[in-house]
Structure 1
């Protein structure tokens, strides 16, 4: 692809590489992930991605903060889920977490006014250990 094609893409909004130029998905913007729904394999909605936790030294997403909404915004609960525990369902623009609704509701979480410290290794290691139990060989954040 040459620079003229890229300029044409920007002007027209049309992708000059074809309709599947971004397949398989390899890179996404943070804003395209934040707000995405997260379901389990049974199709039950577990919540939505509220934020991303970046390892600034390693340069990758370590955790997503998943928000489970309460009624009228009351009793919201937040969860730190290792990014590698999620799979992208590209066709439906959502992520899949390999956990039942019951397992999810028993997971360690926190509320919006009491986030764990960003350097709280105890909290994040505990959350990682919990979710590691649900990450089988077929899971992971493969974006295909």
Structure 2
């Protein structure tokens, strides 16, 4: 369901549903800080937590993950989950994100705690996380698009 941008990249980010095009930022271009604290609903309608962080892939200029804080008082003792950005839909009417996974499946994801983050740059960890949320990793989609381009000529070294 992704759209093609001028660079020919077909990998999508988060979808947006609902009305509301105003002046200034939002909903297509927003400051990451304004999304912190947004509630997250599961695909089956359960409130599963809030966005606590937005993680950037600095080298590729992409949003890699939204970090969902599952519970706890003021974020203390809560379980965190790295959710692929493409698994989220921003609902502008309800002012929340919807994650494309049932609540029970999200709860079965062991996640991590705020003092023990996973090595997010590790490709194996990233691929298994994206697979858990039924998403294709954005880095492999970009690589496949480049490698299938007839103008792409790998070096012979």
**1:12 matched to which residue of 2?**
none
- 3-state SS of 1:129 partner: helix
Aligned to 1:51, which of 39, 53, 60? 53
1:61–1:83 CA contact under 8 A, matched in 2: yes
Q: Is the 8 A contact 2:70 2:78 kept in 1?
A: yes
Larger radius of gyration: 1
Normalised by the length of structure 1, the TM-score is 0.70
Cα distance in 2 for partners of 1:72, 1:118 equals 24
Aligned pairs, how many?
115
Query: Normalising by structure 2, what TM-score?
Result: 0.64
- 1:132 corresponds to which residue? 134
Give the superposition deviation at 1:122: 2.4
1:1-144 alignment, distance < 5 Å = 20-21=22-23, 25-70=27-72, 75-132=77-134
Alignment root-mean-square deviation, CA:
2.3
Secondary structure at the aligned position of 2:133 is classed as helix
Structure 1 unmatched runs, 5+:
1-18, 134-144
Tell me by how many angstroms 1:43 deviates: 2.5
The CA deviation at 1:88 is 0.5
Return the structure number with greater helix share: 1
1:71 Cα deviation (Å)? Answer: 6.2
Query: Is the 1:80–1:124 contact (alpha carbons within 8 Å) kept by the matching residues of 2?
Result: no
Per-residue CA deviation, residues 11-54 of structure 1 (Å, 9 max, x unaligned), is xxxxxxxx833697210101111111100233311111111111
1:83 is displaced (CA, Å) by 0.3
Deviations 1:43-91 (A, max 9, x none): 3111111111111122111111111013685641111100010000011
